[in-house]
Amino acid sequence: MVAQSQKISQEMLEGMFEQAQSHFDIDGDCAWSFFFTDRDPEKLKAVAPALESRGYRVLGLLGPDSESDDSVYFLQVERQEHHTVASLLARNDELYAFAEEQGLESYDGMDVGPLGRPGS
């Protein structure tokens, strides 16, 4: 379970929106990537179909950093949609719950870019 203190706050999202706005128009549809983590890559692969059925596109599984002893894997999914700080807070709550329901180590957060960036 993700500890409450580790969850992404409204203030963090406000800062993210402010920073992104200086690079591209975040007020419309964007390419939103979301990340889940686990030490077992098979658990991440197993949840991919459930995320696809919810409208996410699976971009892939990222392995651990070869310079680190940490064996955490990341599953990256993407969805093209419009968010406000409030709607992204709600989406994050949904994804934290999904990770917990699926027994994953964590929902690790998101990234955003303009539509048409590589991978979107």
Residue 1 lies in a domain: no
pTM of the prediction?
0.87
DSSP class per residue in 91-115? HHHHHHHHHHHTT-SEEEEEEEE-T
Residue 101 lies in a domain: yes
- Residues 6+ away with beta carbon under 8 Å from 90: none
Per-residue pLDDT at 66 = 65
Model confidence band, residue 64 (pLDDT cutoffs 50, 70, 90): confident
Per-residue pLDDT at 52 = 97
With a cut of 60, say whether residue 107 has pLDDT above it. Answer: yes
Q: 78-93 pLDDT, tens per residue?
A: 999 999 999 999 999 9
Residue 8 lies in a domain: no
Residue 3 lies in a domain: no
Instruction: Look up the CATH number of the domain holding residue 109.
Output: 3.30.70.970
Model confidence band, residue 118 (pLDDT cutoffs 50, 70, 90): low
Q: Residue 71 belongs to what domain range?
A: 29-113
CA proximity to 79, closest of 115, 49, 118: 115
